[in-house]
Amino acid sequence: MAAMHNPPHPGEVLREWLADITVTEAAERLGVTRVALSRVLNGSAGISAEMDLRLAKALGTSPGSWYAMQGDYDMWHAQRRFRARVRPIAAHAAA
């Protein structure tokens, strides 16, 4: 799979999915607080595995799809910030 260039935060995508419903109503239907959903929609919180399952059930999406989108977003940003000095670890020889 090719790396995506600057993937959107899943909250941005979710905001489009929820365009016809208020945040309060969506939060109630998902069984989460309005604050928790708002944080995801604003990009200040990520999609957890549990939130992914809630979204999949409520929106009819595949379980894991929102979580994978979060992983892609996190990895892209981590790769851009990564500056650690790491040395290879040699494999242990079989005895």
Q: Tens digit of pLDDT for each residue in 61-79?
A: 999 999 999 999 999 999 9
Residue 47: give the domain boundaries. 10-81
For residue 36, what are the CA distances in angstroms to 26, 60, 82? 11, 21, 28
5 found inside a domain: no
The CATH number given to whatever domain includes residue 43 is 1.10.260.40
pLDDT of residue 5: 84
86 found inside a domain: no
pLDDT of residue 35: 98
Which residues of the chain fall short of a pLDDT of 70?
Answer: 1-4, 93-95
* Structural domains of the chain, count: 1
46 found inside a domain: yes
3 found inside a domain: no
19 found inside a domain: yes
39 found inside a domain: yes
Measured CA to CA, the distance from residue 74 to residue 94 in angstroms comes to 36
